[in-house]
Structure 1
Amino acid sequence: MRNSHILPHPAGHGVPPEANGARRFTWKRIALGAAVLFVFMWVVGPKERRQRMLQGGMHSHSQNDTCSTRSPTVSPASPPAHTAHPANPLPESLPTDANASPPTLPPAPHSPETDPDPLKTVHCIRPHSPSKPLVQYALMLDAGSQGSRIHVYKFHNCGAAPVLEYEVFEQTRPGLSAYAGEPLAAAESLDVLMDQALKVVPVQLQSCTPVAVKATAGLRLLGAVASTEILNSVRARFADRYPFPMKKDSVAIMDGKDEGVYAWITANYLLSTIGSHVPSATTTYAVLDLGGASTQIVFEPTFPRSSSTKLEEGDHKYALTFGGKDYTLYQHSYLGYGIMRARRSVHNLVAFMSEFGHGDGTHESAEGETLISNPCLSKGTRRTVELDDAGWTHKSNFTMAGADVGSFVACNRIIELVMAKDAVCNVKPCSFNGVYQPSIIDTFPSGGILTLSYFYDRISPLMPDTSTLAISDIAHLAQRVCAGKVSWKEHWGGDKNAMEELEGRPEYCLDLTFLHALLRLGYEFPEERDIRIEKKLDGVELGWALGAGIALLDGDIRCTDKL
Structure 2
Amino acid sequence: MIKRLHNRQHDSFSDKIQRYRSVLLVISIPVMLIAVVLLLMPGRAAPSDVAMDYGLSRKFSPNLKLSKSYAVIFDAGSSGSRVHVYCFDQNLDLVPIGKDLELFVQTKPGLSAYASDPQAAANSLASLLDKAQSVVPQDLRPKTPVKVGATAGLRQLGVDASDRILQAVRDLLKYKSAFKSKPEWVTVLDGSQEGSYQWVTINYLLGNLGKKYSNTVGVVDLGGGSVQMAYAISEKDAANAPTVPEGEDQYVNEMYLMGTKYYLYVHSYLHYGLLAARTEILKVTKDSDNPCILAGYDGSYKYGGQEYKASASPSGSNIEECQSVAIKALKVNDTCTHMQCTFGGVWNGGGGDGQKNMFVASFFFDRAAEAGFIDQNEPVAKVRPGDFESAAKRACQTKLEDAKSIYPRVDESNLPYICMDLVYQHALLVVGFGLDPWQEITLVKQIKYQNSLVEAAWPLGSAIEAISSLGLNQVSA
Please state which band the TM-score falls in when normalised by the shorter chain.
0.7 to 0.9
Deviations 1:333-374 (A, max 9, x none): 00000111111222232243x2xxxxxxxxxxxxxxxxx3x3
Q: Bigger CA drift: 425-434 or 319-328?
A: 425-434
The CA deviation at 1:500 is 3.9
| Aligned residue in 1 for 2:23 | none
| Aligned residue in 1 for 2:458 | 544
| Aligned residue in 2 for 1:431 | 342
* 2:201/2:456 contact within 8 Å kept: yes
The total of aligned residue pairs comes to: 428
Residues 76-475 of structure 1 aligned to structure 2 (within 5 Å): 77-82=50-55, 86-88=59-61, 106=62, 122=63, 124-126=64-66, 134-157=67-90, 159=91, 162-165=92-95, 166-275=101-210, 278=211, 280=212, 282-302=214-234, 310-314=240-244, 315-352=250-287, 354=288, 372=289, 374-378=290-294, 380-382=295-297, 384-386=299-301, 398=309, 400-401=311-312, 404-440=315-351, 443-444=352-353, 447-461=356-370, 462-465=372-375, 467-475=381-389
| Aligned residue in 1 for 2:416 | 506
The CA deviation at 1:290 is 0.5
Assess, with a 3 A threshold, how the Cα gap between structure 1 residues 67 and 241 changes in structure 2: closer, same or farther. closer
The CA deviation at 1:557 is 7.0
* 2:319/2:423 contact within 8 Å kept: yes
AA aligned to 2:459 is: A
The CA deviation at 1:404 is 3.3
Assess, with a 3 A threshold, how the Cα gap between structure 1 residues 248 and 82 changes in structure 2: closer, same or farther. farther
| Local SS of the residue matching 2:416 | coil
Distance 2:72 2:425 in 1: 31
Deviations 1:89-134 (A, max 9, x none): xxxxxxxxxxxxxxxxx5xxxxxxxxxxxxxxx4x334xxxxxxx1
Deviations 1:220-240 (A, max 9, x none): 111111111111111112111
Distance 2:260 2:59 in 1: 21
| Aligned residue in 2 for 1:367 | none
AA aligned to 1:531 is: I
Distance 2:469 2:338 in 1: 37
Normalised TM-score (structure 1): 0.69
* 1:208/1:557 contact within 8 Å kept: no
The alignment's C-alpha RMSD in Å is: 3.4
* 2:55/2:258 contact within 8 Å kept: no
The CA deviation at 1:518 is 0.5
| Aligned residue in 2 for 1:476 | 390
Which has more helix, going by share of residues? 2
Deviations 1:377-414 (A, max 9, x none): 34x4425223689x9xxxx6645226534232221011
| Local SS of the residue matching 2:227 | strand
Distance 2:213 2:279 in 1: 43
The CA deviation at 1:283 is 1.9
* 1:290/1:452 contact within 8 Å kept: yes
Assess, with a 3 A threshold, how the Cα gap between structure 1 residues 199 and 474 changes in structure 2: closer, same or farther. same
Larger Rg: 1
| Aligned residue in 2 for 1:26 | none
Assess, with a 3 A threshold, how the Cα gap between structure 1 residues 459 and 327 changes in structure 2: closer, same or farther. same
1:64 matched to 2:37? The reply is: no
| Local SS of the residue matching 1:526 | coil
Distance 2:156 2:411 in 1: 29
AA aligned to 2:392 is: A
Distance 1:170 1:527 in 2: 35
Q: Bigger CA drift: 258-267 or 234-243?
A: 234-243
Distance 2:283 2:303 in 1: 7
Deviations 1:305-326 (A, max 9, x none): 7x99933344111111111211
AA aligned to 1:205 is: L
Distance 2:468 2:213 in 1: 26
Among the aligned pairs, what percent are the same residue? Answer: 31
| Aligned residue in 2 for 1:553 | 467
* 1:502/1:508 contact within 8 Å kept: no
AA aligned to 1:477 is: A
Distance 1:532 1:400 in 2: 34
* 1:84/1:164 contact within 8 Å kept: no
* 1:79/1:87 contact within 8 Å kept: no
* 1:82/1:163 contact within 8 Å kept: no
| Aligned residue in 2 for 1:523 | 433
Distance 1:399 1:143 in 2: 27
Q: Where do 5+ consecutive residues of structure 2 fail to align?
A: 18-27, 96-100, 245-249, 473-477
